[in-house]
Amino acid sequence: MQTDSSFTFVLFGGTGDLSMRKILPALYEAHRAGGMLADSGKIVAVARHIADRAAYIDWVNEHVKPHVSKNGVDETAWASFLDRIEFVKIDLGNPEDFTLLRDALSGRPGIRVFYLATGPSLFVPICRALASVGLNENSRIVLEKPLGYDLKSSNAINDAVGEIFAEEQIYRIDHYLGKEPVQNLLALRFGNVLFEPLWRREWVESIQITIAEELGVEARGDFYDNTGALRDMVQNHLLQLLSIVAMEPPHSMDSDSVRDEKLRVLRALKPIDPRDIGKVAVRGQYHAGVIRGSAVPAYATEPGVKPDSNTETFVAVKVEIENWRWAGVPFFLRTGKRLADRVAEIVVNFRAVPHSALGASALRGGANRLVIRLQPNETIRLYCLAKQPGEGMNLASVHLDLAFDRFFREGQMEAYQRLLLDVINGRLALFVRRDEQEAAWRWVEPILNEWATANKPPKPYAAGTWGPAAASAMLAQHGTCWLEEEN
Ligand code: BG6
């Protein structure tokens, strides 16, 4: 996409993990691709512990370059990318330092983007300091997750930021919304007539959405131990995926049409009765185990984690949507660290045929199922029954396969690259609106409260497995099982 709109992209937390692994590499890719970023666009990194621009460029060369481009670094593009980078040394604890930033930005053309790649406790102080030097005009602010710790703290941040920036200036990132396959889900649902008539309670028996990770908490033990999987993954990524799977067709793809429809789903989530939490939500914590042949330690022994921690590294939860399209259809959401595989997928289980003239095998599982694999290896697979060759009417499960890399060999874009370009170009559709975020917090809150007050340890699971047995038992009660348990 060609652009001539100039911008200044100000990166708070310029030496943080996110800047190093995601944000700067994504900006480099956009720069390298050519034509996506205006030539005059600049990146202004803000950090406290770095002396000056030369030292920051050294840091970028040492820490960011290794995270850039799977296909190797294009040295010419890298050098011209570095030319875009400027640096301002600011102590965020010292609001007067923001005059330095104001001076550095004065007289620049185009929009200002302030990316807060910092902890949420700094969001409000940074916004206030920006406003105190008049930098909240002609600007956009990007807030990383987690935004708050619960509904109350998220409201407090949104209220305070909302006094300084209008909602149209606020870009709340959920990087799952920037993933190519998630975009494709919209194309699949609303670009084809085939699925829509079946996409409802009359034909769908249950839906599973899984985001499984092999990684543990890595260097984020401290953060994670105060967060847990429900806040880290369910409140945002999984409920966003759910809302895209379940939403009504939007009137158009403009930002508010899509977000209005997602909001309707989030508001229709059946509230969980605290007395039922044991039946509809499972939480687990990994113990030592083996992943792909290597021994990995227990969560409780990871750096930064309290040895007696009750924080969950796994959640499985049953969700129901109270509307005409989905009433009575269970949606099973699941996420966990140190699971048997890294996979994110959506499984739509359609109902079996009501009567089989073809014998009992036509009523078996393994057919009437759509599996949308988000990562790795993006594919959409439709499982059907077919007759096995030979004598008699013996049926077998076969699938129609749509592997995206066979159709589209290039042009794939990482989530952060898409989202950063959207911020620079003022496209809000893939960012979470305040009301969506509130509805999601409201729904998870009874589970958070119950788990906090019950003070019971999460169910253990060995690293390298698919989580606690209770997650399987929950599906068994509905006469179904997780996809991998069928194979
Ligand atoms: C982040 C979570 O939002 O998403 C991490 O904070 C998690 O804990 C990550 O590992 C997963 O994202 P992806 O894109 O690797 O599936």
Atom of ligand 1 nearest to the CA of 211: 16
Query: Residue 66 CA to chain centroid, in angstroms?
Result: 23
Pocket test for ligand 1, best of 173, 237, 240 (most atoms within 8 A of CB): 237
Instruction: Compute the distance between CA of residue 41 and CA of residue 8 in angstroms, rounded to an integer.
Output: 6
Coil, strand or helix at 265? helix
Instruction: For ligand 1, atom 9, name the residue with the nearest CA.
Output: 233
Q: Hey, which residues are catalytic here?
A: 237
pTM: 0.95
**CATH code given to domain 177-345+434-486:** 3.30.360.10
Q: Where in the chain is the domain with CATH 3.40.50.720?
A: 7-144
Instruction: For ligand 1, atom 2, name the residue with the nearest CA.
Output: 232
Measure 56 CA to ligand 1 centroid, in angstroms: 27
Q: Collect all residues with Cβ–Cβ distance below 8 Å to 197 and sequence separation of at least 6.
A: 203
Tell me, what's the pLDDT at 366? Answer: 74
Q: Where in the chain is the domain with CATH 3.30.360.10?
A: 177-345+434-486
Measure 111 CA to ligand 1 centroid, in angstroms: 29
Which of 350, 324, 346, 319 shows the shortest CA–CA distance to 204? Answer: 350
Pair 208, 347: CB distance under 8 Å: yes
Pair 475, 300: CB distance under 8 Å: no
Which residues does a 6 A CB cutoff place in the pocket of ligand 1? 213, 232, 344
Pocket test for ligand 1, best of 176, 223, 240 (most atoms within 8 A of CB): 176
Coil, strand or helix at 371? strand
Instruction: Compute the distance between CA of residue 476 and CA of residue 245 in angstroms, rounded to an integer.
Output: 23
Torsion angle in degrees (nearest 10) through CA of 109, 118, 315, 262: -30
**Ordered per-residue pLDDT tens for the chain, 487 residues:** 445 589 999 999 999 989 999 999 999 999 999 889 999 999 999 998 899 999 999 999 999 999 997 778 999 999 999 999 999 999 988 888 999 999 999 999 899 999 999 988 899 999 999 999 999 999 999 999 888 899 999 999 999 999 999 999 999 999 999 998 898 899 999 999 999 999 999 999 999 999 999 999 988 899 999 999 999 999 999 999 999 999 999 999 998 999 999 999 999 999 999 999 999 999 999 999 999 999 999 999 999 999 999 999 999 999 999 999 999 999 999 999 999 999 999 999 999 888 878 776 655 557 899 999 999 988 999 999 888 899 888 888 899 988 888 888 777 788 999 999 999 999 999 999 999 999 999 999 999 999 999 889 999 999 999 999 999 999 999 999 999 998 6
Coil, strand or helix at 212? strand
Binding residues: 48, 91-92, 145, 175, 179, 213, 232, 337
Measure 176 CA to ligand 1 centroid, in angstroms: 9
Atom of ligand 1 nearest to the CA of 224: 8
Pocket test for ligand 1, best of 143, 175, 334 (most atoms within 8 A of CB): 175
User: Alpha helix (H) ranges present in 72-145?
Assistant: 75-84, 98-105, 123-132
Pair 439, 229: CB distance under 8 Å: no
Strands 289-291 and 369-375, how do they pair?
A: unpaired
Tell me, what's the pLDDT at 146? Answer: 83
**CATH code given to domain 7-144:** 3.40.50.720
User: Alpha helix (H) ranges present in 36-97?
Assistant: 53-59, 75-84
Atom of ligand 1 nearest to the CA of 174: 3
Binding residues for NADP(+): 48, 91-92, 145
Residue 273 class from Cβ within 10 Å (0-12 exposed, 13-18 middle, 19+ buried)? exposed
Atom of ligand 1 nearest to the CA of 176: 14
User: Alpha helix (H) ranges present in 275-386?
Assistant: 277-280
Coil, strand or helix at 450? helix
Tell me, what's the pLDDT at 64? Answer: 95
Instruction: Compute the distance between CA of residue 82 and CA of residue 43 in angstroms, rounded to an integer.
Output: 9
Tell me, what's the pLDDT at 267? Answer: 98
Tell me, what's the pLDDT at 29? Answer: 94
Residue 65 class from Cβ within 10 Å (0-12 exposed, 13-18 middle, 19+ buried)? middle
Q: Could you tell me the sign of the dihedral formed by the alpha carbons of 339, 340, 341, 343, in that order?
A: negative
Measure 175 CA to ligand 1 centroid, in angstroms: 8
Tell me, what's the pLDDT at 94? Answer: 87
